[in-house]
Structure 1
Amino acid sequence: MEYYSFLDEIEKEEMKKMADEIDSEEAYYTIQDALKNLDYTRLVEKRELIEKQIEKREDLSPLAQKYWSYKIENSRTQDTLRKLQYRISYLSAEDKEQLEQIKIWEKEDILQDDFFTKEEREMQIKTLQALIYQEGVYSFLFQRNEERKERYFQTIQESSKLIDITTFLSEKEKQYFISLLAKVETKAKMKEIVQKAKRKNYSYEEQRISQKKEAILTAVRDSSLEEKWIYQIQEAKYIAELEAIIEQLKWQFDQ
């Protein structure tokens, strides 16, 4: 629920209680799909609301309007849109002051942008501070943000592959985790989602290993091979190890 930024805390708590009471995977992910769609609808509505604010700012140059529209279009969380809404309302009506304030805000954003290395961010800030004319500033910002967008989607693709190759998550679970990637705005958050998917996959693997161990141990205890194999079975950490032991046991039983 934490990645649905357009749901309030009461809604999240109510939905969490409802989800906890469901024992069907299909029903659980039906609820998640509904929440995802509601969250997206509110995102679009918030974007449209701020776009209307921009239209009312007749003091903004065409380049400035294009800049703010671009920022809104590529924002995905409630916090970011609130920040943009505040910035637009705070913005001076005077062109030069507008530009200086935008440079200050962009410097703040660049410093926190983990899609670029520290060295890249430092170079971007130096370049931005050296620019003094509107055309140069906005041209640089559009170029930087386009590169950021490219890295953003590349990271989504890479993260999606890491989730997709998990062996114990169901297709619905994989799609759920993958869909969350588009709801966050930082590389760190994407990594966090991938780690959650991997941990869930690992917990399923642990369950499968435990079940398989118990089944093999039961068979071994009923045979004369218990002392020879029980240690190997108990120490096995992966399904592949247990399957190899099963093959060896089959060979032993056939002798």
Structure 2
Amino acid sequence: MKTVVLLSTRRLPPTYFDTVREDLGNQELSLDVIAWMPPSGYVADRVHTFTLIGPGRMPKAPAPELESDPLAEADPVEEAPDAVIAPEAVAEPESVVGEAEVAPAAAALPADAAEDEAASTTPAGAAASSRGAGEARPVGITRVRKALGWRYRKARKVAGKVLPKAIKTSAPVKFLRGNRAGKDLGKTYWGRIDGRRDVLTTIEKADVVIALDAGAIWAGWNLGQRRGSVPVVLGLPAARRELDQLKATTKAAAGNG
């Protein structure tokens, strides 16, 4: 069984590792992943090891499916017949309170209760406006900071409108931004690998090391310079050629023996 180490700085789905095995010829492979970002799903059943050296957390294993309870699937209990309201429990028309009886009762309320009732009918907006009117405006250094923040946001918005959208979305600008971000990430990624003894030990045991994306190229180049005995390639097609050569060399050695 060949050991393959995958270097990646992107978020990989679990199904991607099935694609890797297929592109590498469906050989018996042990996949070890050194990743900057956690996968998008549970991958412990698809790879040998997955070492996360960047931010984030590994996804948890999916919860096992619980068997259905036969009692829960039974028909719900029907309502008892005696739960129906009896006719005699309904109030008679004479028991309904009329408007003539409500007015004297309201007049008999004490003054405090009447004030509470009037306060409860006051609109919420009026109360909020009365509270807002009492708030003091910022003064001193707080006022200066708020003014500077407002001017900064306004200047940024104006600059975004002045620069044509065709320039901001052009291919050269996107390339420069992506290239700068890729270089920064690549150096950080390589620094994490170089500082982890367990990661370097995993790489030393590999038959092939594959850099899967642009962020992993710098790490792959440095590993290739340090360990010439372990082939470090970019992409799956190049890794397929290396594995085929190793397979042919192994067969030739076995035939000569």
With normalisation by structure 1, the TM-score equals: 0.21
Higher relative contact order (CA 8 A, sep 6+): 2
Between Structure 1 and Structure 2, which shows a larger proportion of strand residues? Answer: 2
Q: TM-score w.r.t. structure 2 length?
A: 0.20
The structure whose Rg is larger is 2
